[in-house]
């Protein structure tokens, strides 16, 4: 989509939802704070040939991809407010899984799990 493209129709939502208007649904009483220097991503599970732990600094050194993604809360009614479009930046999870020796289920691999490693803070 061309930069700045918007439809000049009164009342229509913008293609990209501004961060201040993005919906937020959670049950946390306090917004979690993450220590970026101690944060780790652990890739493990029955389909992982070589368990890996990656730091945020290592992730940030990888090539970044951009995707325009629509998120919608599973309990959002049709036309409800809990949907938004955002441009997401990040690294490809598929690359990390491949490096850990994970074969996708479509190629005979079992389902896997991944989770942020617990912080020692």
Tell me: the pLDDT tens digits for 85-102? Answer: 888 899 998 899 989 998
CATH T-level fold of 19-117:
Sulfite Oxidase; Chain A, domain 2 (3.90.420)
Domain limits of the chain? Answer: 19-117
Tell me: the pLDDT tens digits for 100-120? Answer: 998 877 777 766 554 555 544
Segment holding 58, helix H or strand E: helix 56-60
Q: What is the mean pLDDT of the chain?
A: 82
Say whether pTM exceeds 0.75. no
Alpha helices (H) in the chain, listed in sequence order? 56-60, 93-99
CA dihedral 15, 20, 22, 24 (to 10 degrees): 180
Question: Which segment of 5-19, 26-40, 85-99 scores lowest on mean pLDDT?
Answer: 5-19
Take residue 30 and report the two structure tokens written for it: 């306090």
- Our separate counts of H helices and E strands in the chain read 2, 5
Q: How confident is the model at residue 121 (pLDDT cuts 50, 70, 90)?
A: very low
Cβ contacts of residue 29 below 8 Å, gap of 6+?
none
């Amino acid at each position: 989509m061309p930069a700045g493209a918007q439809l000049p129709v009164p009342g229509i939502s913008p293609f990209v939802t501004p961060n201040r208007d993005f919906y937020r649904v959670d049950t946390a009483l306090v917004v979690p704070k993450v220590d970026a220097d101690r944060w780790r991503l652990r890739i493990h599970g029955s389909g992982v040939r070589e368990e890996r732990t990656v730091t945020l600094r290592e992730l940030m050194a990888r090539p970044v991809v951009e995707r325009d993604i629509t998120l919608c809360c599973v309990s959002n009614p049709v036309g409800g407010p809990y949907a938004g479009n955002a441009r997401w930046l990040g690294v490809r999870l598929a690359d990390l899984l491949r490096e850990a020796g994970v074969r996708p289920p479509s190629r005979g691999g079992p389902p896997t799990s991944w989770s942020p490693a617990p912080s020692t803070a």
